[in-house]
Each structure stands twice: as C-alpha cells, then as structure tokens.
C-alpha cells in the first residue's frame, strides 16, 4: 500500500480568544473547574473569520513555507462541520483563493472530529491512484454552532484550521477507521427547523473516547507489527486532557509521547490534529523518518487513525 510524504503543514487561529475567566462572564461556570475537568485554559474564537478564511490563511502559510509548483496539486479536501455555505464547499472556495488550478477534485468531508483522519486517508487513496499532491485541510468555526449558555459544551470548543500538503511515497502508512451511529452522544441538526447548536452527552462521549482511542492505537500497532516503544508520538484528537490522560496510562513508560495543545485551543474538531502536526513540525519535534500515530474520534460516532512514517 502506498504511503504519504508530508511536504508541509501550517495552521491558523483567530486572534480573538476567550480564556476561562472571560468565558465564565458569559456562562455559569468556574475557570478552575474548566481547567481541572478538561485541561483547557483558552480557545480562539472567530470575529470576522470563518471556515474558509481560516483554511485560506493556513494554506497561504503553508505555501509560504513550501516552495512547490501549485499546478501539481490535484485534490483539495476540507474536513469541516462548519462550512460557511453547504455549497459551494470550503474546499472549492479555498482552492480559488489559494490560486490552485481549476482541474482538480475539491470537496468538503463531514466526519466531525474524525474528519481530518478520514480526509487524509481519502486523499492518500486519490493521489496513489491519480498522482499529484493533495491539500488536506481541517477547518472549523465551531463558535457558530455552540450555545454559549450551555456550560456542558461551550467550555470545550474553539475555532481554527490546520492544513497538510501530501504526496504519495513508499513510507510506512496504515489506516483504520470506523463508525457507529449515535445521535444521543453528540449531534448537530442540519438545515431546516429547530435549533442549530451542538448537543452532547458528555459522559457517553468520554467513555467512548477513552475506549476507542485505545482500540485504534492497539489495532494500528498489531496490524503493523510494531510496539508502542517503536513509535515516536501519539497524536490524539484534542477534546479533553482527562481523556488523553486516561489513554496514556494504559501505555506505562510511554506517556511522554502523547503531545497536547488543547490548553491553548480547546477542541477544534477536524482542525485539532493538523493544528498539532503543524505545531510539532514548527517546534522541531517531528522529523523525517519518525513513526507517528494520529488518532481521531468524534460525532457519528466516528473514529480514524493512522500509523505513518513521516
């Protein structure tokens, strides 16, 4: 099976932010409670930005880093639950703004917080078959679908985008994914009547998250015949530090491999994994030849993970 080479990554986040203190002027909560129960201290919240402008900003930063011939890009996939329009897609509008050629495949993909993992796998298959490079984006304006009087959800989510430019390679790559319909756990209604806010059963999602992350990591390891000690990092979707803490306890001695940045961004859904990848490349934590597990989970319920050599 063909793997991928990550040519470059970049991210974008709105300048405006709500720290726990500010959020607690809007909702009946407590800054210390939020930090202790979630690990989150801050989240970036759009003012004039939206999922398209964040995607474009991440894309522009990426092209500023990677001196590539843009005509080699054959696909743009934007994972998002918060597109500016149902159509045209974020991917279609971002492709134009970024000056990409017209003869490409461009579409949005809906798999909630697993979106980037689903998009990466879809893009990998596409370029393995058709050649070229793919721009894979996770972008969200979650503040537009959050009820800021609902303390069970508004403390968790933030806005942002991350992008990765990939091409086919013979590097190690293995993917697993799955889905299991569960409206009660986490849902958001589509166009039509009724409210347009996220509804969540926090306990149900928490339990699911801990067990599915362990399942995904174990399956990736057993399928590839690797042990966790041979993996450099485990990059999990950033939903709640307690979820990641509960998972990493299951891998004694390997806890340092579970990198987190949710303290600053909260849960940015499809953007969280590419935001992490971008930050880790920028800090020099990720280097050529390292083996990395990325694992996402979210509404659907959905989950997806890859074990790849970068």
Catalytic (active-site) positions: 113, 237, 267
Q: Is 16 helix (H, G, I), strand (E, B) or coil?
A: coil
Neighbours of 288 (CB within 10 A): 9
Residue from 310, 303, 269, 267 nearest 288 by CA: 310
The answer to whether 79 touches 137, Cβ cutoff 8 Å, is: yes
Q: Could you tell me the smallest distance in angstroms from the CB atom of residue 27 to ligand COA?
A: 7
Q: Restricting to residues 106-145, which ones interact with ligand COA according to CB under 6 A?
A: 113
Single out the segment in contact with ligand COA by CB under 6 A; choices: 7-15, 121-129, 148-156, 224-232.
148-156
User: Please, are residues 76 and 100 in contact by the beta-carbon 8 Å criterion?
Assistant: yes
What is the C-alpha to C-alpha distance for residues 29 and 24, in angstroms, rounded to an integer? 5
Does 177 help bind ligand COA (rule: CB under 6 A)?
no
Among residues 80, 240, 302, 306, the one that binds ligand COA under rule CB under 6 A: 240
Tell me: does residue 148 bind ligand COA (CB under 6 A): no
Residue 50 lies near ligand COA (rule: CB under 6 A): no
Query: Binding of ligand COA at residue 35 (CB under 6 A)?
Result: no
Cα–Cα distance for residue pair 231/194, rounded to 1 Å: 46
CA distance 278 to 71: 23
Under the criterion CB under 6 A, does residue 43 sit at the interface with ligand COA? no
Residue 166 is a binding residue for ligand COA (CB under 6 A):
no
**By the rule CB under 6 A, 85 interacts with ligand COA:** no
Query: CA 57, 80, 157, 266 torsion: positive or negative?
Result: negative
The count of residues interacting with ligand COA (CB under 6 A) is 21
Question: Beta strands 186-187 and 173-179: pairing type?
Answer: unpaired
Q: How far is the CB of 202 from ligand COA (least distance, A)?
A: 3
Give kind and range of the element (H or E) at residue 12.
Answer: strand 3-12
Binding residue for ligand COA, selected from 110, 152, 177, 224, defined by CB under 6 A: 152
Is residue 33 close enough to count as binding ligand COA by CB under 6 A?
A: yes
Given the rule CB under 6 A, which residues bind ligand COA?
29-30, 33-34, 37-38, 113, 151-152, 155-156, 200, 202-203, 205-206, 209, 239-240, 267, 298
């Amino acid at each position: 099976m063909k793997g991928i080479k990550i040519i470059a990554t970049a991210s974008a986040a709105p300048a405006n932010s709500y720290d726990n203190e500010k959020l607690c002027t809007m909702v009946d909560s407590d800054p210390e409670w939020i930090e202790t129960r979630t690990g989150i201290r801050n989240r970036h919240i759009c003012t004039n930005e939206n999922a398209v402008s964040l995607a474009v900003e991440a894309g522009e930063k990426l092209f500023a880093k990677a001196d590539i011939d843009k005509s080699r890009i054959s696909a743009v996939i934007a994972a998002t639950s918060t597109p500016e329009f149902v159509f045209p897609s974020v991917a279609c509008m971002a492709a134009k703004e970024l000056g990409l050629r017209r003869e490409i495949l461009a579409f949005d993909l809906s798999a909630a917080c697993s979106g980037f993992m689903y998009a990466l796998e879809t893009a990998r298959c596409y370029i393995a078959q058709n050649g070229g490079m793919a721009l894979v984006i996770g972008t969200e304006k979650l503040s537009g679908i959050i009820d800021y009087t609902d303390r069970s959800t508004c403390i968790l989510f933030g806005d942002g985008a991350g992008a990765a430019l990939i091409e086919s390679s013979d590097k190690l790559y293995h993917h697993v994914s799955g889905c299991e319909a569960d409206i009660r756990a986490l849902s958001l209604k589509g166009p039509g009547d009724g409210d347009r806010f996220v509804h969540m059963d926090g306990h149900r999602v928490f339990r699911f998250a801990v067990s599915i992350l362990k399942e995904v990591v174990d399956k990736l390891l057993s399928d590839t015949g690797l042990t966790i000690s041979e993996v450099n990092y485990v990059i999990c979707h950033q939903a709640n530090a307690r979820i990641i803490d509960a998972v990493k306890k299951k891998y004694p001695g390997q806890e340092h491999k579970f990198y987190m940045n949710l303290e600053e961004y909260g849960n940015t859904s499809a953007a969280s994994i590419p935001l992490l990848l971008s930050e880790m490349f920028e800090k020099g934590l990720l280097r050529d030849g390292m083996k990395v597990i990325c694992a996402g989970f979210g509404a659907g319920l959905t989950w997806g993970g890859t074990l790849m050599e970068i």
